[in-house]
């Protein structure tokens, strides 16, 4: 059974201020062993499927030709929020309302997809949602969060600064803090992996983007739950390598910057519990360049006519980088989201050179 070091019921409240070191120390002190098994994933899937249908997994011939192997894409860009995160939000809010009926509002920090998930699920559950984003965040993701009913607050130069402000708001306004990594979120997003492994049971490998780690931990939990032997391979941006450095070092390693256009992977400070779980269950963490991510976004559009945001395209970039390993085998790719601003996507498409137009 997949084991995960988790923050069980972690809720910022009386004792924390907005100092990052104090927050991280408190998080570590509260950490405890937990498990996510098949029953947990199936319960989460039932909650998710009451709100949205399973997403498809498709085998795209042009992608297969490009990669030299059988490629199956899990289309989490087809959810009601355009990304996989919505699953975790649905499960989290369902359990929160039953466990803590006195809660009236939640707060979260995000670069976009987590915030959309929290806003969608919180408002649907009758709660207020306050979402903190950094300066320069995706205009269209911001608009979507407001449309789902969230109060949007812009604060700080990156995700970590936004997170610290969200923690302070949780204390000041007596709101429930929804972290980006939590066992309820992992179980919720793991429902997409359960669909994938049951739909394509003989995969040799699955490439998964890493933001803070809920997606890849959900994939590992589902793989172990159904008894698959597939390798799970994490993917990060070379410009935001915290989880790759952590995987190599055997402990959480922070970076001073996370300057990548793939905002879903723009992490400077990894979650120690996620690092431990990834080291135990993944076969590696691959770095991909900005150019490779942009090329993969173009390949998705050319080969499947799907829009992939940077983090969603990163697994394809990693597969193409390691295509020699998988010739003639069967590989899954998590297209985690398609929420990219039109101006950004237009610029990415215009960068294509003629050599990319063929396979």
Question: Is 222 inside any structural domain?
Answer: yes
Question: Is 307 inside any structural domain?
Answer: yes
Question: Is 26 inside any structural domain?
Answer: no
Record the pTM. 0.88
What pLDDT does 8 receive?
33
- Give every residue of the chain whose pLDDT is below 70, as ranges: 1-34, 353-359
What pLDDT does 1 receive?
61
Question: Is 284 inside any structural domain?
Answer: yes
Question: Is 329 inside any structural domain?
Answer: yes
Q: Decide if 84 contacts 189 (C-beta within 8 A).
A: yes
Question: Could you give the CA distance from residue 257 to residue 252 in angstroms, rounded to a whole number?
Answer: 15
**Secondary element (H or E) of residue 154:** strand 151-154
| Residue showing tokens 């927050």 | 23
What pLDDT does 159 receive?
86
Number of domains in the chain: 1
Q: Decide if 151 contacts 129 (C-beta within 8 A).
A: yes
Question: Is 132 inside any structural domain?
Answer: no
Question: Could you give the CA distance from residue 280 to residue 46 in angstroms, rounded to a whole number?
Answer: 28
Question: Is 259 inside any structural domain?
Answer: yes
**pLDDT tens for each residue of 97-141:** 999 999 999 999 998 899 999 999 999 999 999 999 999 999 999
The domain that contains 281 carries what CATH number? 3.40.50.1100
What residue numbers bound the domain in which 319 lies? 38-84+183-356
Question: Is 206 inside any structural domain?
Answer: yes
What pLDDT does 272 receive?
95
Question: Could you give the CA distance from residue 85 to residue 232 in angstroms, rounded to a whole number?
Answer: 19
Report the length, in residues, of the chain. 359
């Amino acid at each position: 059974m997949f084991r995960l070091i988790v923050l069980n019921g972690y809720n910022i409240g009386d004792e924390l201020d907005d100092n990052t070191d104090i927050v991280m120390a408190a998080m570590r002190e509260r950490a405890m062993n937990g498990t996510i098994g098949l029953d947990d994933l199936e319960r989460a899937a039932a909650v998710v499927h009451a709100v949205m249908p399973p997403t498809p997994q498709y085998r795209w011939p042009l992608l297969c030709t490009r990669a030299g192997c059988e490629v199956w894409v899990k289309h989490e860009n087809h959810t009601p929020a355009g990304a996989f995160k919505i699953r975790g939000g649905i499960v989290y809010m369902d359990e929160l309302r039953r466990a803590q009926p006195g809660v009236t509002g939640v707060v979260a920090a995000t670069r976009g997809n987590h915030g959309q998930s929290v806003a969608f699920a919180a408002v649907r559950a009758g709660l207020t949602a306050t979402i903190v984003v950094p300066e320069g965040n995706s205009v269209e993701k911001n608009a979507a969060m407001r449309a789902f009913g969230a109060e949007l607050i812009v604060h700080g130069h990156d995700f970590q600064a936004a997170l610290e402000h969200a923690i302070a708001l949780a204390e000041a306004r007596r709101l429930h803090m929804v972290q980006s990594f939590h066992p309820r979120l992992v179980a919720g997003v793991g429902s997409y992996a359960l669909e994938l492994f049951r739909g394509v049971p003989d995969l040799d490998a699955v490439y998964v983007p890493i933001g803070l780690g809920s997606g890849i931990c959900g994939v590992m939990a589902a793989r172990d739950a159904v008894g698959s032997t597939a390798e799970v391979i994490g993917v990060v941006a070379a410009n935001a390598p915290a989880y790759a450095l952590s995987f190599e070092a055997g402990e959480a390693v922070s970076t001073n910057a996370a300057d990548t256009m793939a905002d879903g992977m723009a992490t400077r400070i990894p979650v120690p519990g996620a690092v431990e779980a990834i080291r135990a269950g993944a076969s590696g963490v691959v770095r991909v360049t900005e150019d490779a991510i942009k090329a993969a976004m173009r390949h998705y559009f050319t080969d499947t006519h799907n829009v992939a945001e940077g983090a969603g395209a990163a697994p394809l970039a990693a597969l193409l980088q390691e295509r020699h390993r998988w010739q003639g085998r069967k590989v899954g790719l998590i297209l985690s989201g398609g929420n990219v601003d039109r101006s950004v996507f237009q610029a990415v498409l215009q960068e294509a050179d003629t050599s990319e137009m063929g396979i």
